Amino acid sequence: MGSTGMSMRGLGGLGDMIGAGLRGLSRYTGTLFAVFVVQSLIAAACMIGIALVLAQAFSHLPLFDEAVDGQLVAVIWVVRHARGTFVAVGGIVFAAIVLWQLAAWFLAGGLYGVLAERPESRGETARCFGASGAATYLAYARLAVCSLPAWALVLTVFGACLGMVAPRLEYALAVTDLIGPLAFAFVPALALLHFFWTVSDYARVELTLRHDTHDPGVLATYLRSLVFVAKRPLTLVHGGLGWVFFLLVTIAYAYLSQGRAMYGAEGAITLFVARQGVALLRMAIHVAVMAGQIELGRTRPLPPRHAEAPADATS
- Enumerate residues 27-46 that contact other proteins by CB under 8 A: 35, 39-40, 42-44, 46
158 vs 184, beta carbon nearer other proteins: 184
Q: Tell me the HSE value of 8 on the side-chain side, using a 13 A CA sphere.
A: 6
Binding letters toward other proteins, positions 97-116, x by CB under 8 A: x--xx-xx--xx--x-----
What is the Cα–Cα distance from 57 to 46, expressed in whole angstroms? 17
Contact 216, 297 (CB under 8 A): no
Which residues have a Cβ under 8 Å from the Cβ of 196 and sit 6 or more positions away? 147, 150, 151, 153, 154
The only residue of 96, 114, 115, 229 in contact with other proteins, by rule CB under 8 A:
96
CB of 72 to other proteins, least distance (A): 4
100 vs 158, beta carbon nearer other proteins: 100
CB of 54 to other proteins, least distance (A): 4
Q: Is residue 259 left, alpha or beta, with left meaning phi > 0 and alpha meaning psi from -120 to 50?
A: left
Four-point Cα dihedral 223, 227, 229, 233, nearest 10: 160
- Residue 46 one-letter amino acid: C
Question: Distance between terminal CA atoms of the chain?
Answer: 19
DSSP state of 216: -
H or E segment and range at residue 91:
helix 83-117
CA angle 122–209–115, rounded 5-degree value:
30
44 vs 155, beta carbon nearer other proteins: 44
| Interface stretch with other proteins, choices 22-30, 127-135, 180-188, 297-305 (CB under 8 A) | 180-188
Q: Does 236 bind other proteins (CB under 8 A)?
A: no
CB of 221 to other proteins, least distance (A): 19
- What is the footprint of other proteins within residues 116-135 (CB under 8 A)? none
- What is the footprint of other proteins within residues 137-156 (CB under 8 A)? none
174 vs 311, beta carbon nearer other proteins: 174
| Interface stretch with other proteins, choices 4-12, 172-180, 211-219, 299-307 (CB under 8 A) | 172-180
Contact 161, 189 (CB under 8 A): yes
Give me the phi and psi of 220, to 5 degrees please: -65, -40
What is the Cα–Cα distance from 130 to 103, expressed in whole angstroms? 12
Q: What is the largest CA-CA distance in the chain?
A: 71
208 vs 213, beta carbon nearer other proteins: 208
Q: Does 158 bind other proteins (CB under 8 A)?
A: no
- What is the footprint of other proteins within residues 259-298 (CB under 8 A)? 262-265, 267-269, 271-272, 275, 279, 282-283, 286-287, 290
Residue 159, classed as helix, strand or coil, is: helix
131 vs 262, beta carbon nearer other proteins: 262
Q: Does 15 bind other proteins (CB under 8 A)?
A: no
Q: How far is CA 158 from CA 46, 199, 226, 231, 236, in A?
A: 31, 19, 20, 24, 20
Over its C-alpha atoms, the chain yields an Rg (Å, rounded) of 23
- What is the footprint of other proteins within residues 182-211 (CB under 8 A)? 183-185, 187-188
| Interface stretch with other proteins, choices 2-10, 96-104, 150-158, 303-311 (CB under 8 A) | 96-104
Q: Does 68 bind other proteins (CB under 8 A)?
A: yes
The only residue of 137, 151, 158, 246 in contact with other proteins, by rule CB under 8 A:
246
The only residue of 2, 167, 301, 304 in contact with other proteins, by rule CB under 8 A:
167
